[in-house]
Amino acid sequence: MRFINKWSYSCAKGLSQMLDEDHQKKALYYYGFQIALGSIVKAVILVAVSFALGAMLPALTISLAFALLRKAAGGYHMKTYGKCLFVTMVLFISAALIAQYTYQYWSILCLAGFIGLTFFTGMYILIKYAPRDTPNRLITDAREKRKFKIISVIYMLVWLVLSMLLTAIGIKLYAISLCFGILPELFGITPAGHSFFEKIEYGLGRKKQKHLIKT
């Protein structure tokens, strides 16, 4: 979004002038402000929309589960903030609504099976593909790759214990939300996931171009 870029540039410019920094430092500040402001805007929109739809808590659980795994495993990254925001909101809000309004129909056995399937599929994907580079974090060192892969696997083990514990004590809404949180992240680090999100990004770009031509 343009206002994120403008705010980030203004903040970076002001900070670099105040500290008497060079252009290279200003670019670093600009990048940092983009991430910080973008995250705040994304969080505010997610909370507002999910609250209005009555699914705020599962939406927050989904986003947290997604973000923690993404930190270690990487994944596909949209080229513009607007596209990233749109796709993220569609995925998270849709998943939150499904979790909120279907959890009471899940039996303990079905949910345990879903968690087990997600876990074993996730472990295979992480061992085979994680970590995937992002534009913000290019991993070339073999030791770094091994470290992030191990962290990803540990995360899945913790995720499994927590999900099963929630299921055992009957808190099915959050167990389902934890599943829905990591599924798009796992998909996003596979070659099929990259191809899928690339097509979505390309499609959104074409729609925007057609709209600009018409106007």
Reduce the secondary structure of the chain to three states and give it as a string. CHHHHHHHHHHHHHHHHHHCCCHHHHHHHHHHHHHHHHHHHHHHHHHHHHHHCCCHHHHHHHHHHHHHHHHHHECCCCCCHHHHHHHHHHHHHHHHHHHHHHHHHCCHHHHHHHHHHHHHHHHHHHHHHCCECECCECCCCHHHHHHHHHHHHHHHHHHHHHHHHHHHCCCHHHHHHHHHHHHHHHHHCCHHHHHHHHHHHHHHHHHHHHHHHHC
Q: What is the pLDDT along the chain (215 residues), one digit of tens a residue?
A: 576 777 777 887 787 778 777 777 777 777 777 777 878 888 999 999 999 999 999 999 999 999 999 989 988 877 777 888 889 999 999 999 999 999 999 999 999 999 999 999 999 999 999 998 665 556 767 888 899 999 999 999 999 999 999 999 999 999 999 999 999 999 999 999 888 888 888 877 666 555 545 55
Q: What is the pTM of this model?
A: 0.84
Bridge partners, residue 132, by sequence: 74
Distance separating alpha carbons of residues 3 and 13, to the nearest angstrom: 15
Distance separating alpha carbons of residues 133 and 139, to the nearest angstrom: 6
Distance separating alpha carbons of residues 213 and 215, to the nearest angstrom: 6
Answer for the pair 182, 118: CB distance below 8 angstroms, yes or no. Answer: yes
Residue type for position 126? L
What is the per-residue pLDDT for 158? 97
Residue type for position 77? H
Distance separating alpha carbons of residues 52 and 142, to the nearest angstrom: 45
